[in-house]
């Protein structure tokens, strides 16, 4: 392998980004796999992300066979695997991060434009065959959506592996509620820590220099702060959707490149909504959706994930006649309770063609035994709870047959608040006959429930042009305050799931005014986050959720003129 460090990539405004290039010593040209992001190309996976690295090699000691794993970065491809497969691998430090100078502004329009120029640079180098592919996880997937909207001519295919796409709805404000828990910790730990000019950044063992730039570029703490945005405050200051959020989000009408969108089945709070929306909304005529379980960095490096990426990219970047063009549009790994085994099933569309969207109605007529029934209750009933202190859980009768629930969900709830607003946190669960909860390893949280959704009642306005019965789409462009005590019809988007439940299991829906969290599990949190069911995706910012507004009494109405229900994607047969 030929390894070139700190290769300059000039931008149109004079800023020079820095990249590491890994290519074959046996000639070329070859197609390119590129990533651009703020985590530091000079930060080794094993050093910068020690807990995650330890977990990966402990859980999968034989991961990436044939590689020494010495050249790996977090959430990017391993060049020791991909270069022998006939690719040039390029990692670019985004503007203001790592070895690239400039103002650090995550997910910005400027960052997307920089990525466009980097792709065009890579596509015209002598070692390139002119086809550039993108492949990476999380941040390195989100930037793929954003740059794809700009349609760089040399971009030939991409694999956004677990990538959010709508900065407002997927990342910053779930149902209008500020999602600060993750950003509060992630930004200083993984982004600001390797900001360009940060003298405290980790050493780059390959260049034997600080990973955040040469000593001449080091900045004081105050200078560093002035040279980057404050993402949490930016979101606090912008409660409604706006051009600022749109500039950090994909425009699906302009995404025409072939792509393989890889969604995690238990990634509530960040990525999977973007992967599903990509498949259903993007203009591309060559698009595939893959749905997998496990942690977000796990399946990307396992044999089945690697084989999938290689086959897709070999077809579009090398022109290999490997049958990919005949591959089913949807590749679903079906889950079963209390099992790590999954079954790959190929489907033709999403939602799946055999889906029968079925209403199961909430019934509060027995306050001590809240129920869900397939038939609509005739008699009206209601029940109240204190929003930030209590929760309600409605249970179905035991399932009469094995039941597959796969696809997007939604809840229609009729509720009143004692204040002028309320937040709804909705969690879909299932329980075995012996009352064990069905949960799975999520992208981060090892005890993730089956599905989650959120809505701030003052954001209840729907966009009629984009809403579907099973996927309400809120415009978030104006506030509709509540009149205390008045009943409102609220449609809650619940992110997609997939589960095959045996006969005798019960469904459950928890409704609350706070994040879903269980007591701390006996095996304690995972290695990086306190994991109680919602992972780090918590909504706790005091400026966004003042108690005088969001800790009031909420009353939920069921039956009669207020038929609250959960809409389930049940597969026929």
pLDDT digits (tens, 9 = 90+) for 133-188: 999 999 999 999 999 999 999 999 999 999 999 999 999 999 999 999 999 999 99
In this model, does residue 379 exceed pLDDT 70? yes
* Among 489, 476, 514, 354, CA closest to 410: 489
Give CATH for domain 355-571: 2.60.120.260
> Pairing relation of β-strands 155-161 and 259-264?
parallel
Handedness of CA 366, 367, 368, 370 (dihedral sign): positive
Beta bridge partners of 409: 494
The pair phi, psi for residue 372, each rounded to 5°, is -130, 130
CATH assignment of 2-161+177-238+297-327, given 3.20.20.105, 3.40.50.1820, 3.40.50.300, 2.40.280.10?
A: 3.40.50.1820
What stretch of H or E contains 132?
strand 128-137
31: pLDDT strictly greater than 80: yes
**Residue by residue, what is the 3-state secondary structure of 454-500?**
EEEHHHCCECCCCCECCECCECCCCCCCCCCCCCEEEEEEEEEEEEE
Q: What is the pLDDT of residue 530?
A: 67
End-to-end Cα spacing for the chain: 52
Q: Which residue has the tokens 């489907």?
A: 347
Residue 224 phi, psi dihedral angles, 5° rounding: -60, -45
CA dihedral 570, 160, 56, 499 (to 10 degrees): 0
H or E, element range at 347: strand 343-347
pLDDT at 569 > cutoff 80: yes
**Cis peptide upstream of residue 78 (ω within 30 degrees of 0):** no
E strand or H helix that includes residue 363: strand 355-363
Tell me how far apart the alpha carbons of residues 521 and 155 are, in angstroms, rounded to a whole number. 45
Sign of CA dihedral 457, 459, 461, 465: negative
Which DSSP category does 437 fall into? B
Neighbours of 253 (CB within 10 A): 10
pLDDT reported for residue 519: 81
Determine the pLDDT at residue 520: 73
- Token pair, residue 482, equals 């509540």
Structural tokens at position 238: 């912008």
Say how many C-beta atoms besides its own lie within 10 A of residue 8's C-beta.
Answer: 11
Residue 319 per-residue DSSP state: -
Phi-psi group of 169: left, alpha or beta (phi > 0 → left; psi -120 to 50 → alpha; rest → beta): alpha
Output the pLDDT for position 108: 98
Closest CA relative to residue 461, chosen from 237, 176, 244, 252 = 176
pLDDT of 225 reads 98
- Tokens standing for residue 182: 């993750």
By DSSP bridging, strand 203-204 and strand 209-210 are antiparallel
Residue 562: CB partners within 8 Å, gap ≥ 6?
380, 414, 487
Range 409-434 burial, b when 16+ CB lie within 10 A, else e: bbbbbbbbbbbebbbbbbbbbbbeee
pLDDT digits (tens, 9 = 90+) for 524-562: 656 556 678 999 999 999 999 999 999 999 999 999 999
Cα 121 from Cα 119, distance rounded (Å): 5
Averaged pLDDT, 487-504: 98
Strands 355-363, 371-373: pairing kind: antiparallel
Our measurement of the distance from residue 209's CA atom to the centroid of its chain's CA atoms, rounded to an integer in Å, reads 33
% pLDDT > 90, the chain: 95
In the DSSP assignment, the letter for residue 217 is G
Q: What is the mean pLDDT of the chain?
A: 96
pLDDT at residue 309 in the model? 98
Six-digit token string for 65: 């066979």
Residue 521: which pLDDT band, with cuts at 50, 70 and 90? low
Alpha helix ranges (H) inside 124-191: 139-148, 181-186
What are the CA-CA distances from residue 549 to residues 220, 233, 417, 522, 540 (Å)?
40, 20, 9, 34, 14
Q: Where are the domains of the chain?
A: 2-161+177-238+297-327, 355-571
- Show Cβ contacts of residue 100 under 8 Å, excluding neighbours closer than 6 positions: 15, 16, 17, 18, 92, 93, 94, 196
For tokens 């075995």, what's the residue? 432
Tell me if 58 sits within 8 A of 84, measured CB to CB: no
CA distance 430 to 139: 31
Q: DSSP for 157-205?
A: EEEEES----IIIIIIEETTEE--HHHHHHIIIIIGGGBTT-TTSPEET
Token code pair at residue 382: 């209601």
d(CA 75, CA 138): 7
Name the one residue in this structure whose structure tokens are 């000039």. Answer: 10
Position 522 scores a pLDDT of 63
* Distance (Å, whole) CA 82 – CA 260: 18
CA–CA separation, 501 and 570 (whole Å): 11
d(Cα 376, Cα 34) in Å, to the nearest integer? Answer: 53
Q: 3-class DSSP state for residue 253?
A: helix
Q: Which pLDDT does position 166 carry in this prediction?
A: 98
The 10s digit of each residue's pLDDT in 213-250 is 999 999 999 999 999 999 999 999 999 999 999 999 99
Give residue 511's pLDDT.
98
- Under the banding of pLDDT at 50, 70 and 90, the label for residue 507 is very high
Residue 176 DSSP SS3 = coil
């Amino acid at each position: 392998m030929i390894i070139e460090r700190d290769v300059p990539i000039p931008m149109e405004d004079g800023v020079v980004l820095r990249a590491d290039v890994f290519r074959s010593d046996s000639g070329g040209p070859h197609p390119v796999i590129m990533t651009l992001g703020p985590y530091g190309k000079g930060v080794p996976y094993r050093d910068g992300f020690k807990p995650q690295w330890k977990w990966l090699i402990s859980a999968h000691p034989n991961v990436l066979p044939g590689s020494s794993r010495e050249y790996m970065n977090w959430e990017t491809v391993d060049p020791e695997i991909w270069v022998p497969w006939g690719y040039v691998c390029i990692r670019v430090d985004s503007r203001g991060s790592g070895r690239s100078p400039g103002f650090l502004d995550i997910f910005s329009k400027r960052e997307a434009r920089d990525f466009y120029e980097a792709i065009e640079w890579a596509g015209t180098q002598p070692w390139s065959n002119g086809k550039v592919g993108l492949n990476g996880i999380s941040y390195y997937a989100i930037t793929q959506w954003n740059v794809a909207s700009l349609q760089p001519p040399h971009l030939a295919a991409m694999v956004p592996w677990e990538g959010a796409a709508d900065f407002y709805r997927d990342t910053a404000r779930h149902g209008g509620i500020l999602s600060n828990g993750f950003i509060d910790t992630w930004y200083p730990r993984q982004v600001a820590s390797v900001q360009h000019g940060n003298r405290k950044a980790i050493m780059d063992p390959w260049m034997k220099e600080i990973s955040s730039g040469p000593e001449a570029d080091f900045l004081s703490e105050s200078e560093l702060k002035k040279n980057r945005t404050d993402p949490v405050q930016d979101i606090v200051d912008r409660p409604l959707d706006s051009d600022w959020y749109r500039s950090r989000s994909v425009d699906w009408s302009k995404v025409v490149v072939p792509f393989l969108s890889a969604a995690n089945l238990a990634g509530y709070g960040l990525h999977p909504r973007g992967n599903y929306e990509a498949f259903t909304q993007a203009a591309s005529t060559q698009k595939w959706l893959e749905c997998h379980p496990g942690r977000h960095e796990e399946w990307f490096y396992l044999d089945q994930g690697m084989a999938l990426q290689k086959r897709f990219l070999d077809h579009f970047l090398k022109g290999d006649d490997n049958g990919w063009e005949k591959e089913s549009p949807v590749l679903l790994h079906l889950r079963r309770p209390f099992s790590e085994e999954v079954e790959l099933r190929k489907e033709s569309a999403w939602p799946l063609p055999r889906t029968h969207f079925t209403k199961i109605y909430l019934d509060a007529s027995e306050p001590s035994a809240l129920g869900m029934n397939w038939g609509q209750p005739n008699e009206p009933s209601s029940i109240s709870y204190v929003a930030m202190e209590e929760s309600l859980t409605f249970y179905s009768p035991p399932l009469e047959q094995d039941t597959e629930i796969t696809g997007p969900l939604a809840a229609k709830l009729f509720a009143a608040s004692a204040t002028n607003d309320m937040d709804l946190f909705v969690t879909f669960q299932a329980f075995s006959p012996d009352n064990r909860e069905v949960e799975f390893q999520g992208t981060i949280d090892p005890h993730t429930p089956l599905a989650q959704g959120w809505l701030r009642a003052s954001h209840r306005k729907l966009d009629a042009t984009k809403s579907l019965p099973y996927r309400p789409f809120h415009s978030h462009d104006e506030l509709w305050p509540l009149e205390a005590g008045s009943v409102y019809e609220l449609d809650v988007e619940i992110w997609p799931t997939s589960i095959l439940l045996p006969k005798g299991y019960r469904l459950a829906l928890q409704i609350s005014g706070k994040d879903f969290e269980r007591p701390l599990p006996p095996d304690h949190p995972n290695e990086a986050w306190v994991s109680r069911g919602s992972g780090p995706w918590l909504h706790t910012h005091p400026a966004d959720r003042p108690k005088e507004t969001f800790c009031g009494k909420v009353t939920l109405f069921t039956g009669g003129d207020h038929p609250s229900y959960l809409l389930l994607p049940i597969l026929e047969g």
